[in-house]
Structure 1
Amino acid sequence: MINGYIPAARFLPFLSWTAIAALPDKANTVIVLPTGAIEQHGPHLPCSVDSVISSGVAGHALARLPETIPAYAIPPVTYGKSDEHLNFPGTLTLTGDTLLQTILEIAESLYRAGFRKLLMINGHGGQPQVLQMASREMRLRHGDMIMIPHDVFRVPSVENQFLSAQEQKMAMHAGHSETAVMLALAPECVHLEQAVANYPPEF
């Protein structure tokens, strides 16, 4: 189904327009938007890593919320600003302008429907600035709109106790962290027999 990792009861598009119109206190209902990318992640991971992780983290978080907390997810933006990976087949990228306008138009649609809180769960390191720009722009347009871009890997976690010092210092892409999360979310897409260690030079 289109909701993927999002619990059906927490997926806004599964409601009719009349049910959405009748939601109580929409201004204090949090809408969750996963944002990711389609780009190379080495030979052992699929190009969908950033989108899978952002959607998976959002879905698992929503599943843990008490029913009394009003929060719904909307479909993820799976294409991101990935022009740094243009030379790798499989990378599908938007320009920064296109991504910015996409986020703004989604936010405007939510605002028209009465929602005032949008949490973006971002899984791609190449676009936080674009999401921040969209948040500032919506704040200028509508003083009562709150948009928060949040990175999936910037939440309290215990991952560092499982990572080597070299991995913590030098890993930049498709490393142990992303591989571990993908093994939890979509193990059928992980091919560890093709994994290679490829750290950048010390800088």
Structure 2
Amino acid sequence: MAPRATVSPSSPSPTTYHGPCYVLGDNIDTDQIIPAEHLTLVPSKPDEYRKLGSFALCGLPSTTYPVPFIHPGADVTRFPIVIAGANFGCGSSREHAPVALGAAGVRAVVAEYYARIFFRNSVATGEIYPLESEETGIWKECDTGDIVTVNLAENLLVNNTTGKEYRLKPIGDAGPVIEAGGIFAYARKTGMIASASTA
């Protein structure tokens, strides 16, 4: 299973993610993240959620990305952090895209910027942190398998393999929504809608 968050002792909130990264270029679309043929899987069903994760990024061309994101026969990836270029999540709207990444064990994606609907679906589902870099070309300075650390509290990406550090844009108000597990979980947590125990 993919490495989980390091939890700060003073807070129950995850603030740091650490592990090998998977590097992608510009314009990774939702068909590459999760091809349409897998959209019949229902994420609310645990078995189908795991199956959805096993297909994450299976639409990538193997000639460009020879390292498999998920090894054959595995349900989860060994890469908890994805580093990408510009316009990540472009293409057709499908909330299955961030869900597939989350089900595969991805905790954060660091990209130059996102297609708006992908960013919104990431926040709404609470599956991954869609983080934006303050500078361009980070994906050109990192290699798949580099050990990296994402520090949410400090808005920092550290490539421990190369020793380089990169500033990230603050996630802002989206952070608590993702941390809560998505928009509905956040609404229940904050009392905007009744929780199951009080309804």
Structure-2-length-normalised TM-score: 0.27
Greater Rg, structure 1 or structure 2? 1
Q: Where is the helix percentage greater, Structure 1 or Structure 2? A: 1
Structure-1-length-normalised TM-score: 0.26
Higher relative contact order structure (alpha carbons within 8 Å, sequence separation ≥ 6): 1
